[in-house]
Amino acid sequence: MIRHVVLFKLRPGQPKETTANIFAALKALQAQIPGIIAISTGADQSPEGLQRGNTHGFTVDFASAAARDAYLPHPAHQKVGAMIVAASDGGVGGITVLDWEA
């Protein structure tokens, strides 16, 4: 299994609906793209103070690296990715992505 982790910081002044729309679109990807096992989304709630400015994040668990690789160029993923970039402080530069084998 591959776990895909994305952290981002919303641009100041974004309405709450922005996050709700992004998270709903992300969760809908599971029905649209084969090989997605689970998607989890949320706003930061850590008391540690190590967020480095990130305010929101999500994980996508894939059955395999091949499933993750098929997801990346998928049009549905590209559409949601564009939503995240548009809402993120710093655009794509304000997004952190890590993948690991779980």
Q: What DSSP character marks residue 48? A: S
pLDDT value at position 84? 98
Q: How confident is the model at residue 81, as a pLDDT?
A: 97
- Two tokens at 8? 């981002």
Instruction: Supply the pLDDT for residue 16.
Output: 86
The position carrying tokens 């997004």 is 95
- pLDDT, averaged per 10 consecutive residues of the chain (102 residues), comes to 97 92 98 98 96 96 98 98 97 97 94
DSSP code string of 52-88 = TT--EEEEEEESSHHHHHHHTT-HHHHHHHHHHHHHB
Domains detected in the chain: 2-44+53-101 (3.30.70.100)
Indicate left, alpha or beta for 13 from its phi (over 0: left) and psi (-120 to 50: alpha): left
